[in-house]
Homo-oligomer: A and B are copies of this chain.
Amino acid sequence: MANPLTPDVLLDPVVLTRALVDIESVSRDEKVIADCVEDVLRRADHLSVRRLGNTVMARTKLGHAQRVILAGHLDTVPVNDNLPSTVVDDLIYGCGTSDMKSGVALALHLAVTLPDPRYDLTYLFYEAEEIESEFNGLNLVAQSHPKWLQADFAVLLEPTYGLVEAGCQGTMRVRIRTAGRRAHTARAWRGVNAIHAMGEVLRRLEDYHPRTVTIDGCTYREGLSAVRIDGGIAGNVVPDECSIDVNLRFAPDRSEKQALEHLQEIFHGYELEVTDSAPGALPGLSAAPAREFLAAIGLEPAGKLGWTDVARFAALGIPALNYGPGDPALAHAPDEHVEIGKIRDGSATLYRWLAP
C-alpha cells in the first residue's frame, strides 16, 4: 500500500486528520498506521526514530536545555459504522476524529514541518491506550525504554476542546461487604439481615462532603460514589451477605496510600478490599516550558477530572497536561467528530509556542 500520508497531506493538519482517521486502527490493530507514521518520520532528517511494537518515537537532538514531549495514541475504540470520515460544514466525522487523531495530526504535522523548535522535542505515537494497561504503548516504553521518556514537560494531545487540562484526579475503587446470618423470613428475628446492615455504609456515603482543591490554579473536585450494590438469596430468606463497590475520585494532592487511608477513615469499622486504583497527577505547571506554553495559549488551566495518561508522566516525575482539538464529550460516541477550526487553532497555538 502506498503511504497515504504524502508530503502534501502532511502540510495541512486538517487534511492530515482525515488521512489518519481513514487508516483504521482499532486497539491491537495499529500496525498499518504505525508503519505509515514511522515511514514519514524516518524521511525527516532532523529526527532520530525508534520503534517498540506499534509505538513510534522520534526526537530532535538540538542540544537545547529543555526537552518537551508531544504524545498521542494511534488506536481508537471499535469502529461503529463511522468510517471512512466525512465532512459536513466545519466538522469532520469519523471514528477517532476527536479521540485523538486530530491531536496526533497536530504532532505529526509539527514533527515534519518544524526542524528547529525552541526546545528539543520528543514525539511519541503509541499503541493501545483504549484498552488494558498491560498493552498501553506508553506503559511499555516506560518499562523497557525509560530513556525515551526523559523530558522536562509533556503535552498529551487528548481531546480538551482547545482548553488546557492539567494534572488529573486519581481513582480508587473499594468493595465493602456486610455479613449477617441466614434465616427464613417467616422467622426473621433468628437471622441478621446483611442488606439492612448496609444502611450504615449508605448513610456515610450520603453524609460525605467531598473536597474541592485548587493546585497551581487548577481546581479538582473530589467525589465518592457507590457504583454497585448487590445482595439477596431468595424471596423468603434473610440474606447473610451484601456487598457494595465505592469509587473515590481524589485530587492529586493525595497519593493512592493517602486515598486509601481517607476511605478507611470514612468507612471506619469496615474492611475495605481495593479492587482498582490509579494515582492522580499534580498539574506541575511551574516548569519553564509549561509556563511558556500557558503564556502562548493565553488560557487559564483547569483540573482534569477523569484519569488520563498524564498520570503516567507524572509517575515518572514529568509535569504533563492535556491539550487537544477534540471534544472529550464526543470521544467513543458513534457521531464522534472534530471542529476544523479547533484543529487550525491548535496548530497555530503549538507553532506560536514552539517556533524559534
Q: Which of A139-147, A150-158, A217-225, A311-319 contacts B (4 or more CB under 8 A)?
A: A217-225
A307 adjacent to chain B (CB < 8 Å): yes
| Interfacial chain B residues near A245, Cβ < 8 Å | 232, 235
A340 at interface by CB-CB < 8 Å: no
A224–B191 CA distance with the chains assembled, in angstroms? 12
| Chain B residues whose CB sits within 8 angstroms of the CB of A233 once the complex forms | 227
Bound CA–CA A238/B239 (angstroms) = 25
Tell me which of A99-107, A125-133, A199-207, A285-293 binds B. Answer: A199-207
**Count of chain copies:** 2
Q: Report yes or no: B232 in contact with A231, Cβ–Cβ below 8 A.
A: no
Interface size on A, residues (CB 8 A): 47
Q: Which A residues have a C-beta under 8 Å from some C-beta of B?
A: 169, 171, 173, 184-189, 191, 193, 195-196, 198-199, 202-203, 205-206, 210, 221, 223-239, 242, 244-245, 247, 249, 276, 305-307
Which residues on the B side are within 8 Å of A237 (C-beta)? 227
Cα A311 to Cα B235 in complex, Å, equals 19
A145 to B217, CA, bound (A): 83
Is B223's CB under 8 angstroms from A189's CB?
Answer: yes
- Please determine whether B202 and A226 come into contact, CB atoms closer than 8 angstroms: no
CB atoms of B249 and A186 under 8 A apart:
yes
Please name the residue on chain B nearest to A237 by beta carbon. Answer: B227
Q: Would you call A239 and B226 a contact (CB within 8 A)?
A: yes
- Asked, given contacts A184-B306, A186-B306, A202-B199, whether A193 binds B231 with beta carbons under 8 Å apart, the answer is no
- Min CB distance, A232 to chain B, in Å? 3
Cα A146 to Cα B249 in complex, Å, equals 65
* Contacting residue for A307 out of B186, B198, B206, CB 8 A: B186
Q: Are the CB atoms of A244 and B189 closer together than 8 Å?
A: no
In the complex formed, the residue of B with least CB distance to A212 is B189
Q: In the complex, A305 Cα to B236 Cα: how many Å?
A: 12
- Distance in angstroms between the alpha carbons of A187 and B228 in the assembled complex: 17
Is the CB–CB distance between A188 and B224 below 8 Å? yes
> Given the complex, which residues of B lie within 8 Å of A187, measured CB to CB?
221, 223, 305
- Interchain CB contact under 8 A, B184 and A221: no
A307 → B minimal CB distance (Å) = 7
Interface contact B196-A206, CB-CB below 8 Å: yes
Q: Which of B236, B244, B247 contacts A227 (CB 8 A)?
A: B236
| CB-based contact A225/B244 at 8 Å | no
A191 vs B224: C-alpha distance when bound (angstroms): 12
